[in-house]
Structure 1
């Protein structure tokens, strides 16, 4: 399974993805208290025992939108229609995807579509789609840069390896009320390397690089 390689998606499809590029920034008011965010809202890592601060930690005052168990943060931006694509340079321990506005943020909930979370996981337990039960993914598809595309009307979210332009996984039949806000969501336990939101991409096609 680890030896699986997938051909790049067609250039026309990649251009179609890139044409929906969205600028995404992290919302400090939703960040778990152990996370440290950069001042520009583009980078996050676990803050505890970090040698170098990436920005001022937010107040620990309670906020109904703040995660208090899982080390998560959502974006300032939310989507209620259309198609939106963004890229993340990943670290060694992450969950990345989307969540609906009404999903639980307090306490220990499960990251699953049933709970309103559609995410991939990468870390010490491997690489997987957080379905119920979990769907293992080939380690050969684990990206250095992850592309995420959510289509609100189609009710699906797809993931890609940016460096090889390969499709990794798609969640379909997302369940949420019409008009509910859908947020990019990020979780990390890496204390030494950031998750970094990359600048909005252009439709220019770059050569595929070896992963």
Structure 2
């Protein structure tokens, strides 16, 4: 029997909306946490989408919060994962420069996801994909530019996969050493992203 989702988990002094742990679950549901969003990012569609504003909001006008990213356009999901396999998708067709992945719930708010050992990220820029592990970038050739991608997280196995959601094809899998709960993580420097959670883990993927 799947473990229940516990609301209001406190981690590093902040209350997460949810916690997914215990027995494997296949239906992680999350929204974007406005408290973590950099001042250049606006959330929309009931906090499931994020849009980049070139000028953004004057940082002095944004509510002060130690959980907010200070220097980079990053926002985190509000549900932490500590076990099991989980899957969500992101519509990326309206952006040409972004990062998608997972990060420790206590990842530094002074850096960007993908630049440290607390985050595991797939990045798209200049029409090329890269994977970031331990702050090191690895090019991913022949990925193309899907309009919608999936992220398949196997926490127990230490694996994060990038999926072409349209073709149901696994594009690349990276290995991770998860030592604490992680949350979905996003960075954006133009356009917008729209997240889709509450999805079952696909069992019919090809590739990789």
Give TM-score scaled by structure 1 length.
0.73
Within 1, Cα distance between the matches of 2:49 and 2:200?
21
**The one of 62, 65, 68 aligned to 1:60:** 62
Q: CA deviation at 1:140?
A: 3.7
Indicate conservation of the 8 Å contact 1:36/1:46, yes or no. Answer: yes
Q: Which residue of 2 aligns with 1:159?
A: 162
Q: Which residue of 1 aligns with 2:21?
A: none
The structure whose RCO (Cα within 8 Å, separation 6+) is larger is: 1
Indicate conservation of the 8 Å contact 1:97/1:184, yes or no. Answer: yes
Change (3 A) 1:83 1:40: same
Q: Which residue of 1 aligns with 2:199?
A: 201
Q: Which residue of 2 aligns with 1:44?
A: 50
Q: Which residue of 2 aligns with 1:189?
A: 189
1:135 matches 2:138: yes
Q: Which residue of 2 aligns with 1:16?
A: none
Q: CA deviation at 1:163?
A: 0.9
Indicate conservation of the 8 Å contact 1:67/1:73, yes or no. Answer: yes
1:144 matches 2:147: yes
Q: CA deviation at 1:83?
A: 1.4
Q: Which residue of 2 aligns with 1:76?
A: 78
> Higher helix proportion, which one?
1
Change (3 A) 1:201 1:109: closer
Q: CA deviation at 1:71?
A: 0.1
Q: CA deviation at 1:161?
A: 0.7
Q: RMSD over aligned Cα, in angstroms?
A: 2.9
Q: Which segments of 5 or more consecutive residues in structure 2 lack a partner in the other structure?
A: 1-24
Change (3 A) 1:151 1:199: closer
> Higher strand proportion, which one?
2
Within 2, Cα distance between the matches of 1:153 and 1:83?
8
